Amino acid sequence: MIKKEIDDTIKNLIKNAGSSDLYDIISYLDITIKPCQGKSFYCQLNDHKYIYMDNNLVENIKPFVLAHELGHAVLHKEEIYHYSPLSINKTSTEREADYFAFRILGKSIDPTLDYTISQYANLLAVSEDTIKYIMN
């Protein structure tokens, strides 16, 4: 899936949900958020959709992780189990979910700052791989 398709999907989702708030969108999609220990992931079992959120996540990355897992729910219809958005080896579905999260959270890269990839990642609380993918 190309970035423009993901951008269009987000635009339509926000319009249909009537809100850009993650929790409103998750409610609109009838996804249940469940706390768990160890890893965050999205899964669909039969007709039920779940986002399992790791209770031990650092507070500043929780919105990104939640939006990342929402990205899986919206972009990847098959039953999947993808874990941390901060893992080193990214599949295309992981990169797409990262991009979805970045965009739905309204994050952006300001080229006038002339930051390194690492500095942008720290500033925006995302992985360096996410910044590389956004910049390409």
Domains of the chain (ranges plus CATH)? 3-135 (1.10.10)
Contacts of 10 (CB under 8 A, 6+ apart): 100, 103, 104
Rg over CA atoms, the chain: 14
Q: Which of 31, 116, 101 is nearest to 68 (CA)?
A: 101
pLDDT digits (tens), the chain, 136 positions: 799 999 999 999 999 999 999 999 999 999 999 999 988 998 888 889 999 999 999 888 999 999 999 999 999 876 454 444 444 445 788 889 999 999 999 988 888 888 999 999 888 888 888 898 888 8
3-state secondary structure 13-78: HHHHHCCCCHHHHHHHCCEEEEEECCCCEEEEECCEEEEEEECCCCHHHHHHHHHHHHHHHHHCCC
